[in-house]
Structure formats: C-alpha cells, structure tokens
C-alpha cells in the first residue's frame, strides 16, 4: 500500500505494546488504522485469521458499512498505527484518489485470502471423504 508515507510522521500516531488490543470484535467502529510499524493479528474467537503488516489498513470495514467490528485486532509485537476517523477518511477519499484505491485493494486482497482459506478447508475434508471408501475396501479385503 502506497499511502504509508502520508501518515508515518504525524503526531496522531498511536503506539501499542505486544498483546494489547487496538479494538475488539463487536465494538462499534468509528476509526480505521494504517499500520506504520509492527504486526497486528486479526482474531475471531481464538483463531488468528490474518496478520496485518506495515502499510496495511485494519478496521476499514467499520467506516464503510457502519457495523460493529467483525474481528479483534491485537498487536503481535510493538506497533505504531495511524488512526483515521470518518471525517479524515472522507477527506482522504476526496483529496487523494490513490488512498481510496489502496483501501479497495486491501479489502479485495483480504477477501481473496479468506476465500482461499475457505476453499482449502473445504477441499481437505472432501479429499478425506473420497479416500475413505478405498481405505474401507482395503480393510475389508484384509479381513476376508
């Protein structure tokens, strides 16, 4: 994402220590974040569904669809993030078209990764189901 240079040295940058939550699933969201330094785990329940790295956005869905947070965001190591509230988001979209494209790319990439994970999880049980009858036949032959 090319927008990191817009935020890196601004005074609004916030720091979080490893293990701290930037936000939690179910909370109302009025701010998204650009990761300046460090890695942030996106967590649903106890499952880490993705790890976001510097120059990535997190929490952008809350500004777009006005729904509660769909995941928690936890600092994997010490991180610095730049908060982007709704008014700044609107201004950035209007004034910096590349910013809007960066957000759309981030959403598309996250959706593609999620689709790949879902596809691979559903394919693995199907392979086991297909393989099971052959294993049963082999066991049956040995018994006879």
**132 within domain boundaries:** no
**pTM of the full predicted structure?**
0.76
Highest average pLDDT, of 1-10, 13-22, 125-134, comes from 13-22
Note whether residue 143 is domain-resident. no
In a domain, 72, yes or no: yes
Domain of residue 66: give its range: 2-104
Q: Return the percentage of the chain with pLDDT > 70, whole number.
A: 81
- Cα separation, 85 vs 114, in Å, equals 26
**35-60: pLDDT as tens digits:** 999 999 999 999 999 999 999 999 99
**Domain-embedded: residue 68:** yes
**Confidence grade of residue 99 (pLDDT, cut at 50, 70, 90):** confident
pLDDT in tens, 18-29: 999 999 999 999
Residue 125 domain-assigned? Answer: no
Instruction: Give CA–CA dist 120/81, Å, rounded.
Output: 32
Tokens standing for residue 118:
């879902």
Across the strands, what pairs with 79? Answer: 16
Query: What is the average per-residue pLDDT within 115-132?
Result: 69
Residue 130 placed within a domain: no
What integer pLDDT is reported at residue 10 of this predicted model? 79
> How many structural domains does the chain have?
1
Tell which wins on pLDDT, 119 or 123.
119
- Looking at the DSSP bridge assignments, the partners of residue 47 are 44
Separation of CA 126 from chain center: 27
Quick one: pLDDT at residue 130? 54
| Element at 97 (helix H, strand E) | helix 97-143
Measured distance CA(89)–CA(102) in Å, rounded: 12
Quick one: pLDDT at residue 8? 73
Identify the CATH number of the domain in which residue 30 sits: 2.60.120.10
Burial class (CB in 10 A: 0-12, 13-18, 19+), 49: middle
Q: Which residue has the higher pLDDT, 25 or 121?
A: 25
Q: What is the pLDDT of residues 60-83, one digit of tens each?
A: 998 888 899 999 999 999 999 999
The reply to whether 134 falls in a domain is: no
């Amino acid at each position: 994402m090319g927008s990191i240079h817009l935020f890196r040295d601004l005074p609004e940058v916030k720091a979080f220590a490893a293990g701290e939550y930037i936000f939690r699933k179910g909370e109302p969201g009025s701010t998204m974040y650009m990761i300046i330094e460090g890695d942030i785990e996106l967590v649903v329940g106890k499952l880490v569904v993705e790890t976001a790295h510097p120059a990535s956005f997190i929490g952008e869905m809350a500004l777009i669809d006005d729904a509660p947070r769909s995941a928690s965001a936890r600092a994997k190591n010490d991180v610095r993030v730049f908060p982007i509230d709704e008014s700044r988001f609107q201004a950035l979209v209007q004034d910096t078209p590349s910013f809007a494209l960066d957000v759309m790319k981030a959403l598309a990439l996250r959706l593609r990764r999620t689709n790949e994970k879902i596809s691979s999880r559903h394919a693995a049980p199907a392979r086991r189901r297909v393989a099971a009858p052959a294993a049963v036949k082999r066991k049956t032959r040995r018994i006879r």
